[in-house]
Amino acid sequence: MSTLKYLGAQRRRLFTARKYLNVSGFSSLHTGPNCSVELHSQEEEAVIALGSNVGDRLHNFKEALKLMKKSGISITRHACLYETAPAYVTDQPRFLNSAVRAVTKLGPHELLAALKKIEKDMGRTDGIRYGPRPIDLDILFYGKFKVGSDILTVPHERIWERPFVMAPLMDLLGSDIDSDTVASWHSFSGHSGGLSGLWEKLGGESLIGEEGMYRVMPVGNGLLDWSRRTSVMGVLNLTPDSFSDGGNFQSVKSSVSHVRSMISEGADMIDIGAQSTRPMASRISVEEELDRLIPVLEAVTAMPEVEGKLISVDTFYSEVALEAVSRGAHFINDVSAGQLDPNMFKVIAGLDVPYVAMHMRGDPCTMQNSKNLKYDDVCKEVVSELYSRVREAELSGIPAWRIIIDPGIGFSKKTEDNLDILTGLPDIRADIAKRSLAISHVPILIGPSRKRFLGEICSRPAAVERDPATIASVTAGVLGGANIVRVHNVKDNLDAVKVCDAILRQKSHPLKFRQ
């Protein structure tokens, strides 16, 4: 049971508590200049908005989250990241905005004091209202309580008029209401449709990409808006035993030549893998993987043609991920979503790079056994299993704005399962949205290129003969909402992607281009 601590005359304590504590669904806490009503509970859930437009904005976010944790504020969910035009005072740099859900034992005014101290410690000074700031931290919600005092109003009084606050706030929810606390937040909106109805009234998803507000992912030295067009990721396998091109690119010279070719054909990203993950592939050690990877990675990152392109390293070893990023890789592509190395999430959280979490059951040696191929509803089970990995990643400190999801076409899937996934990407997003709108908005990567199921359908036993089938599967995936396609043949798949993107941009098309 919550305890009200009143700092004032004993006689007024009971009166204040009785007057302002309403137990019929939520409570109101009111304070005046000569008294204070403070809530102390075992734990309450809060929503905190973050904004920054001075200095290194991403570093400011990271530092603020670190200081919040030290202050007794445990982050449980992250919204997506938004770059937004400044509001009210428009002659200032663009903002990064986001929000987090957190649990804390701090009372609302204690929480406010902790956040104000963080702002001050990070260099925020009194300036013009709504002016530039290295960090801005606002309490949007605190448990099921309404708080009113001279210094704090919860819910935050200007939530409802600010799309740059509402967008990240909505990300922290699921389309299913998962608790009484979330139900109270919806009720505070005053809208019959709750927060969702209010967001739609403001314009909802149509505002993303409009009104100067973009959903972005920090990668390399920039911000990627993956909604504008589909990205093409070219594959570079350094292995002797990959199913399609094993042994073709084992020297630095041949690898560099292949990367140069893929970039000239229009690749946006290059995915370098030094360990085969084909069915029944034998696992090699960290040392052997690094021996294959590092000379090529160093040569590739030194290529003039690579400037402006993104380099991914395909690995499930945290040690390889750490070394790869230190040598210039921009993000990590993990086929196991952290299942094959218990340190992966912790390492990625410290590296501050995007992370591809892919669905797979077992490992490459066991993923195609009868147990791992059993599904009742492949899309729903992929969502359930992959989302559980993403939640663990998020709780480990990897924010939603650095996550990419991959449903794992060809990994622990039968032919019909792969087809169900390709046609079911909208359903996958919708099912994830029930749990977390933020994760439902993250980029989806698909990798059907030259996979065995295409050979089975088209009677093409040789992997190199499956490019036309790959183009067909990529087309289906992009029209279904995939944002990144991982392919061996960049040139032809890029043409398919361009046509799909043109179709999706047509306002009359039933599928929405922006996710």
Which range (35-39, 219-223, 276-280, 449-453) has the least confidence? 35-39
The answer to whether 77 and 48 have CB atoms below 8 angstroms apart is no
Q: Given a cut of 70, is residue 20 above it in pLDDT? A: no
pLDDT, tens digit, 9 for 90 and up, residues 153-192 = 999 888 988 899 999 999 999 999 989 999 999 999 989 9
The CA distances from residue 15 to 20, 345, 364, 427, in Å, are 9, 50, 67, 53
| C-alpha to C-alpha distance for 44 and 103, rounded to whole angstroms | 5
Q: Given a cut of 70, is residue 130 above it in pLDDT? A: no
| Residues with active-site annotation | 451, 486
Copy the structure tokens of residue 370.
Answer: 């009868």
Q: Given a cut of 80, is residue 14 above it in pLDDT? A: no
**DSSP code for 283:** P
Copy the structure tokens of residue 157.
Answer: 């009084």
CB atoms within 10 A of CB 353: 21
pLDDT, tens digit, 9 for 90 and up, residues 368-426 = 999 999 999 999 999 999 999 999 999 999 999 999 999 999 999 999 999 999 999 99
Q: Given a cut of 50, is residue 233 above it in pLDDT? A: yes
pLDDT, tens digit, 9 for 90 and up, residues 486-496 = 999 999 999 99
Tell me the domains of the chain and their CATH numbers.
44-215 (3.30.70.560), 227-508 (3.20.20.20)
* Among 251, 255, 247, residue whose Cα is nearest residue 271: 255
| C-alpha to C-alpha distance for 76 and 44, rounded to whole angstroms | 12
Query: How is 403-444 classified by DSSP, letter by letter?
Result: EEEE--TTSS--HHHHHHHHH-HHHHHHHHHHH-HHHHHS-B
* Average of per-residue pLDDT across 44-57: 95
Q: Which residue has the tokens 């608790």?
A: 179
Q: Given a cut of 50, is residue 60 above it in pLDDT? A: yes
pLDDT, tens digit, 9 for 90 and up, residues 291-334 = 999 999 999 999 999 999 999 999 999 999 999 999 999 999 99
* pLDDT for 47: 98
Look up the pTM and report it. Answer: 0.90
Which range (2-11, 110-119, 136-145) has the least confidence? 2-11
